[in-house]
Amino acid sequence: MSRPLDLTIAIGGAAGQGIATPGNVLARIFARRGLHLYSYNAHQSIIRGGHILLMLRVGQTEVLSHGDRIDMLLCLNQDTMDRHLGLLGDGARALYNSDDIQPGEPAAGVHLCAMPVKQLTGDSKNKVIQNTLSLGVMMGLIRVDFDVLGKVLEQSLGKKGPEVVQENLSVARAGYDHAVSNFEPFPEPLPSGGKPLAVWAGNDAIAIGGAAAGVKFYAAYPMSPASGVLHWMAQNGRGLGIMVRQVEDEIGVANMTIGAAHTGVRAMCATSGGGFALMTEAVGAAAMMEVPCVFINVMRAGPSTGVPTKTEQGDLRQALGASQGDFERFIVAPLNALDAFNTMPELFNLVDRAQCPGILLSDLLISEGTFSVDPDRLNMHLEIDRGALIQDPSPNGDYHRYADTESGISPRVLPGHEGFVYTAATDEHDESGVLISDEFTNPFKRRQMVEKRARKFETVAQDVPAPKLEGAKKAEVTLVGFGSTYGVIKEAIARLAEHDVTANHLAIKWIVPFHVDAITAALAKAKKIVVVENNYTGQFAEYLRSQTGIAAHSHIRKYDGEPLTPRHIVHGVLDILSQETTVYVPTQEISV
């Protein structure tokens, strides 16, 4: 009986060598066969040169991470061969242009697949034609009919004209025939899964989730790794009735988003940590004026410009402390791309009901990753709850926009209706919106408004679902993480079982409101709590302790710009259990 498919293909080279194209073709082929995939691209911030490694992992069931081994490595330059050949283990294949690349000494069982590119491509002047040749070789190695690749190439390149299509088909066929004649294929042919799947990036999921939530205004200043949200909105916004604006800076972005939301449309914006730093005063303005809107922070390695193309979970404190003073805001960190899609409508409903800002924390791993998704799991017709919005206002000369109600939620009416006049300002105000600090700051009214805003948040926060402990009820280790660490921790738990270590998992999605009672109860009987996060200072462990009084026994932290892999967590837990360390920081590269 053959094992379920678990295949990881890596493509390495320099920026400008067209690495994304073969990755996209492979993703399309796998998804159409009903296979699940998870792709992570470790790239740099330069247009030409440097080193890039795209990893695409495919399986017959949901793939939770990009993994920590390479089964097939395509080397587009010598640098990739030198860096990664030593990471390949028994049964792996290394593909390379034998005209220009020297393979080095592989480990036992590694198959070197030399491609004489000039011989196989003829007189082609296309500098990236070796990518098409390599796709043909790959199809031969994983034993997929050439027609499958041919159809995808025809669809992908059709707009470039019949000559381009024919050249690529001929070269791909040459690669395929060369592989069949000269290389040993993988033991098992690539299987078919169930029905065909769709492919999206995490930023696509966020944008589509916003569209499903009824967003009608989107503003942004391009800043990686959040730019993909703007790209999707710019491409699709007009057809969906969404006004999309690329603004001169993040201060303008935030204020335009709040202005649009004030008029009654659902509005959002997205940026990364540096851009969000400029938005934070506006976050407080939305809280004071009680305007519901959503800010998205796609975290990358900081501070300052940091490492623009690398991932990190270092902006938790920034989100918690965004703007000055005491005020309520929702903060949520989705666990994966599908969860990000589902979270967007949920977050918009909450901010509408509580009339306050919401912050969604993603990171480069989720937002710039490429994933398969079952289209049937996407609900584009979700329930939309606009909260206490007066739908059919009649003239009322005594309207109190910020009425101090029992729930703290004040019914709002959209601007422009006759008889409903009020001031919406960033100064503290009374129930009618009149500023309280012009002549005399009334302590009673100040306290009344602070307590009202807090009470309305508490009313709505009760409907936010609490996290639940996943896995064994009794475990040697309880792994705690937030946001994008979910998948890699879940996979690591299965691998720990192979080492006779029982572990369970508490994944935190909602940062604010923080479910203190549920989290405390879940961790009360834990034998050893290990917090896993992608930052240096343990920001989430610190926050957990501040809210619950629970101090983690040990920590696994990574802050080199690359995401955690299952191997990192397994090694960390084993070292912690053997009392070699209490703070494990992985240093090894992706390996077998």
382: left (phi over 0), alpha (psi -120 to 50) or beta: beta
Give the pLDDT score at 352. Answer: 98
CA distance 177 to 409: 69
- Contact yes or no for 479/528 (Cβ under 8 A): no
Tokens representing 182?
């000269």
At 215-256, the pLDDT tens digits run 999 999 999 999 999 999 999 999 999 999 999 999 999 999
CATH at 519: 3.40.50.920
Segment 462-468 mean pLDDT: 96
363 and 487, same domain (yes or no):
no
- Contact yes or no for 249/278 (Cβ under 8 A): yes
Reported as a pLDDT band with limits 50, 70 and 90, residue 528 is very high
Kind plus residue range of the DSSP H or E element containing 571: helix 566-577
At 166-192, the pLDDT tens digits run 999 999 999 999 999 999 999 999 998
Beta-bridged to residue 506, according to DSSP, are 469, 480
Q: Which amino acid is at 42?
A: A
Tell which residue, 516, 543, 484, has the closest CA to residue 343. 484
Total domain count, the chain: 3
pLDDT at 568 exceeding the cut of 90: yes
Reported as a pLDDT band with limits 50, 70 and 90, residue 259 is very high
CATH at 14: 3.40.920.10
Kind plus residue range of the DSSP H or E element containing 233: helix 227-240
The 3-state secondary structure of 279-348, one letter per residue: HHHHHHHHHHHCCCEEEEEEECECCCCCECCCCCCCCHHHHHCCCCCCCCCEEECCCCHHHHHHHHHHHH
DSSP 429: B
- Contact yes or no for 75/13 (Cβ under 8 A): yes
In terms of DSSP bridges, do strands 503-508 and 469-471 run parallel, antiparallel, or are they unpaired? antiparallel
- Contact yes or no for 39/56 (Cβ under 8 A): yes
CA distance 313 to 370: 19
Tokens representing 558?
């990574």
Reported as a pLDDT band with limits 50, 70 and 90, residue 589 is low
83 and 226, same domain (yes or no):
no
Query: Residue holding tokens 């070292």?
Result: 575
Reported as a pLDDT band with limits 50, 70 and 90, residue 592 is very low
The 3-state secondary structure of 471-483, one letter per residue: ECCCCCEEEEEEH
163 and 15, same domain (yes or no):
yes
138 and 17, same domain (yes or no):
yes
| Structural domain includes residue 188 | no
| Structural domain includes residue 463 | no
| Mean confidence (pLDDT) of the chain | 94
| Structural domain includes residue 476 | yes
Tokens representing 95?
């593909």
Q: Which domain holds residue 487?
A: 469-584
| Structural domain includes residue 536 | yes
Chosen domain end from 123, 147, 182:
182
| Structural domain includes residue 120 | yes
| Structural domain includes residue 63 | yes
Reported as a pLDDT band with limits 50, 70 and 90, residue 2 is low
CATH at 339: 3.40.50.970
Reported as a pLDDT band with limits 50, 70 and 90, residue 1 is very low
Kind plus residue range of the DSSP H or E element containing 407: none
At 113-123, the pLDDT tens digits run 999 999 999 87
Tokens representing 413?
């009416």
Query: Residue holding tokens 């050949």?
Result: 85
16 and 133, same domain (yes or no):
yes
| Structural domain includes residue 428 | no
Segment 450-458 mean pLDDT: 96
Chosen domain end from 182, 212, 240:
182
pLDDT at 93 exceeding the cut of 60: yes
pLDDT at 538 exceeding the cut of 50: yes
Segment 156-164 mean pLDDT: 89
Q: Which amino acid is at 400?
A: H
63 and 212, same domain (yes or no):
no
Segment 368-397 mean pLDDT: 88
CA distance 389 to 567: 50
In angstroms, the first-to-last Cα distance of the chain is: 23
Chosen domain end from 377, 400, 430:
377
Side by side, the strands of the sheet bearing 330-332 are: 243-246, 215-220, 266-271, 293-299, 357-363, 330-332, 510-512
Q: Mind giving me the DSSP string for 515-563?
A: -HHHHHHHHTT-SSEEEEESSSS-HHHHHHHHHH-PPPSEEEE--SSSP
504 and 580, same domain (yes or no):
yes
At 19-67, the pLDDT tens digits run 999 999 999 999 999 999 999 999 888 888 899 999 999 999 999 999 9
Segment 89-109 mean pLDDT: 95
284 and 326, same domain (yes or no):
yes
215 and 171, same domain (yes or no):
no
CA distance 272 to 278: 10
How distant, in Å, are the alpha carbons of 126, 167, 168, 206 from that of 122?
A: 11, 10, 12, 44
286 and 151, same domain (yes or no):
no
148 and 18, same domain (yes or no):
yes
pLDDT at 456 exceeding the cut of 80: yes
CA distance 541 to 503: 18
Among the listed ranges 372-376, 394-398, 409-413, which one has the minimum average pLDDT value?
394-398
- Contact yes or no for 342/368 (Cβ under 8 A): no
Segment 71-81 mean pLDDT: 97
Give the pLDDT score at 123. Answer: 77
pLDDT at 397 exceeding the cut of 70: no
How distant, in Å, are the alpha carbons of 39, 213, 230, 291, 368 from that of 207?
A: 19, 10, 8, 21, 13
Tokens representing 519?
């989290």
| Structural domain includes residue 590 | no
156 and 287, same domain (yes or no):
no
Rg over alpha carbons for the chain, rounded to the nearest Å, is 26
CA distance 408 to 356: 12
Give the pLDDT score at 185. Answer: 97
